[in-house]
Structure 1
Amino acid sequence: MEVVASQRQSLLSVDISCSEVTDSGLNFLSDCSNMQSLSCNYCEHVSEHGLGVLSGFSNLTSLSFKRSDGVTAKGMSVFANLVNLVNLDLERCLKIHGGLVHMKGLRKLESLNMRYCNYITDSDIKYLSDLTNLKELQLSSCRITDLGISYLTGLVQVNTPKFGELSSDRCLLGSYLRIGFTDVVEFESVWHI
């Protein structure tokens, strides 16, 4: 990590997925403030405290933390500083219930993947309703019901035809999607099993 971090301001993209990086290793990147893309997928040794380094990455446009127990509701508070974020991947981050409140100011966000975030519920989804640039939202296998989807209707109507895809398979949806929701909000595609 020291060698990577030695690039400092010239470092724009880092993928440390599937590595043994720890909080202190991630901290080596703190001087790389021009970073635009960071992937830390399957990094089991990064905790919510290690996420603190992200607060200095205001130029970050893409962030991926697939299957990371370190991404928690409390740790997500640093996401509020990532105002230029366009793509965020939190697939299989099981401890983020209650943390989506920290994302409500990410107005440039276009793609959000929360597949298999099994503890995300309707109450979490309401914080996404102000993300007016959102084009793709992956919610497969979350505990979302019709109520949660209803929080998105205003967002989708604002974005029509920009909003392209809502994936909600294996969610707890009732009739909302089945009886005309797609016609009302004009999704290009809605995946629901």
Structure 2
Amino acid sequence: MLKTIVLLFTLLLAAESHWVLDLGGRIERDSAGAIAGVILRGTWVTDSDLEALRQMKEIARLDLALTRITDQGLLRLRDLRHIADLDLSYAEQITDEGASAVKDWHLIRLDLRGTKITDTTLSMLSRMATLKALDIGFAQVTDSGLQFLSALAGLEELALGGNKLTERGLQVLYSMPRLRRLDVSGKQRTDSGLWSVSVTDLALDPVASLKELRELNLNGAQVSARGLEKLAGLANLDKLHLYGAKPVRDDAIAVLSSLPRLRWVDLKDTSVTAEGVEKLRAAKPQCVILWQ
């Protein structure tokens, strides 16, 4: 009898999730065998396929990155309020309308990179106090919208590169003292030209206030040694991306050497010379240094 029950349970689980596997996705299960996550990244999942997800009310993770789902498909999932980790990165048809499906969720991680969300979605997210990690890179947000995020004082990870943001928008970082990871890198080609965050020496003032920061991505930034000096007080910083930051020269080596926990730095395509790299290696022999 026990074997029969186990067999029936196994068949039930398989039937519940076979459509995910048929699409090339995968299922994550908890220790009890219940479905905890559905990964459909890069599959040809459709809006109508998502109807089956409505029966999986206990899932905690959903990955729909790199899919062609639309707002209508996402709105079908508005009742899945147990989801804590939602990845919609480069689901390029998602707009503010679709993102509104999560307004009553208690998300911890949300990735909206490469979607068409605007400041309207940021206003909605300002009420999501549970949020710890947010990626809005390569979306369509502005300096004004970024200010809505000042309500998210518990945020620990933020990525916002590839948006048309200025130093004014970055002032919001002063209200995020718990940030451990910040990414302001990248350029997005739009109908109105290339969009990127304007990261200059002056823009590093709010970054310097983030005392818990451990990883900082400044790839392509227009920062120099003068700006990097402002980061000297970031005692927890252990990973720094400076790829393509052309104004970074050998005079920046002193401040990099002074960062007590720095263990990884990318200096490729900067203006740092071989002599500068050797000085940094001598000062921090345990640090991984990427250079041309």
TM-score, normalised by the number of residues in structure 2? 0.58
Q: How does 1:150-169 map to 2 (within 5 A)?
A: 150-154=229-233, 156=234, 159=235, 162-169=236-243
What's 2:132 paired with?
A: 61
Match of 1:181 among 252, 255, 265: 255
Question: Which residue in 2 is equivalent to 1:39?
Answer: 111
Residues 2-151 of structure 1 aligned to structure 2 (within 5 Å): 2-8=75-81, 10-19=82-91, 20-32=93-105, 34-43=106-115, 45-68=116-139, 70-116=140-186, 117=196, 119-151=198-230
Return closer, same or farther for 1:107/1:92 CA change in 2, 3 Å cut-off. Answer: same
Partner secondary structure for residue 150 of structure 2: helix
For the pair shown, which has the larger CA radius of gyration, 1 or 2? 2
The verdict on how the C-alpha distance between 1:96 and 1:29 changes in structure 2, with shifts beyond 3 A counting, is farther
CA contact (8 A) 1:51 1:75 kept: yes
CA contact (8 A) 2:228 2:255 kept: no
Quick check: 1:29–1:53 contact (8 Å CA) kept in 2? no
Q: Which residue of 1 aligns with 2:12?
A: none
Moved over 3 A (4+): none
Alpha-carbon distance in 2 for matches of 1:102, 1:118: 14
1:105/1:131 contact within 8 Å kept: no
The one of the two structures with greater contact order (alpha-carbon pairs below 8 A, sep at least 6) is: 1
Supply the RMSD in Å over aligned alpha carbons. Answer: 1.8
Kept in 1, the 8 Å contact 2:214–2:238? The answer is: yes
Q: Give the Å deviation of 1:18.
A: 2.2
Between the two proteins, the alignment pairs up a number of residues equal to: 183
**What do residues 142-183 of structure 1 show as CA deviations (whole Å, max 9, x unaligned)?**
1112222122112x2xx2xx32111112212234323x2222
TM norm structure 1: 0.86
Structure 2: give runs of 5+ residues left out of the alignment.
Answer: 1-73, 187-195, 271-292
Aligned residue number for residue 279 of structure 2: none
CA drift of 1:118 comes to: 5.1
